[in-house]
Structure 1
């Protein structure tokens, strides 16, 4: 089996066509291209090669219909679950690493609306800003961190419960339903 690199738009398309939990990219593409499933003799060979599973939940998948153009600037509320990879998430260093990883996935999925995170605030300080200095100016002990692959910064010097509340609020602002927001929060 060969490895190939694909861009984010293609990855999202493949992931959005997942029909069952644990279905891998090869199975999805074979189905979409009307090719026969992998034969039993090929399965033995495939077990030696670790394939990345598309870890998505069927009830939160947004399908992209054939013959339609996809505008990928803002994919849709359910698609962050297609972007989040539980194995990569587990490899992040501590709660702060997972927190930043989830926020980065939300940013990639919702670039056009991610500025809504700036509305998430505490009583006396802001949690998100466009610069490190803005966070530092709003309070002491902020420990600001850049959200990877974005221009946004987040306060990370809070307990895990506060970070979960922040993730939940961000998810709601980005139009996730309560169940999806709780699922996202529990990834932390």
Structure 2
């Protein structure tokens, strides 16, 4: 078996073409590329019969309960509507929080050498450093410092994505949206 890398949008398109539980990506591509009849003949010839076939699981799970991934939910229009870096930063954190509701509290582990970056109250951030300018992440109970340069904000986004289970490559894609 060979491994290939594909872009996220193509992966989501292929996954959306699933017709039965446990259908592998190879089965879906075979059906899409070779047609129904050719795919069923090739599949029957290639795969031995098994009593309980194991469903294929993606290696990186970016999805949560029916909400999709951060890449599905980030709207270019919404990003462009935010005129400031702080606005885009808060928007991206808000989308990450929406996609990863149960895990988002992991951001509280992200800290600087002498500074908290995230907290559950504005007071906690203000007490942890001067000139933090805490802002609430929209639609969450979390707060983040915003008085940092764009490079630091990008680093915070990257660390947040990694904490939430994204690959380094996808974390960089999220960071680059800022």
TM-score (norm 2): 0.66
Distance 2:106 2:67 in 1: 14
Distance 1:152 1:109 in 2: 15
Quote the residue 1:136 is aligned against.
126
Distance 1:76 1:141 in 2: 39
* Counterpart pick for 2:167 among 177, 181, 185: 177
1:82 and 2:72 are equivalent in the alignment: yes
| Structure 1 stretches of 4+ moved >6 Å | none
Rg comparison, structure with higher value: 2
Quote the residue 1:166 is aligned against.
156
Residues 78-87 or 91-100, more deviating: 78-87
What displacement does 1:87 show?
Answer: 1.3
**Structure 2 residue ranges without an equivalent (≥5):** 1-6, 22-62
Quote the residue 1:58 is aligned against.
10
**Structure 1 residue ranges without an equivalent (≥5):** 1-20, 22-55
Contact 2:68 2:99 in 1 (8 A): no
Residues 36-51 of structure 1 mapped to structure 2, 5 A cutoff = none
Computed over aligned residues only, the root mean square deviation of the Cα atoms, in angstroms, reads 2.6
Distance 1:111 1:122 in 2: 23
1:91 and 2:91 are equivalent in the alignment: no
Quote the residue 1:147 is aligned against.
137
What displacement does 1:93 show?
Answer: 2.4
Quickly say closer, same or farther: Cα 1:79–1:91, change in 2 above 3 A.
Answer: same
Distance 2:73 2:174 in 1: 12
Quote the residue 1:35 is aligned against.
none
Distance 1:116 1:96 in 2: 21
Distance 1:106 1:61 in 2: 21
Tell me, what secondary structure is at the counterpart of 2:69?
helix
Quickly say closer, same or farther: Cα 1:101–1:113, change in 2 above 3 A.
Answer: same
Contact 1:120 1:169 in 2 (8 A): yes
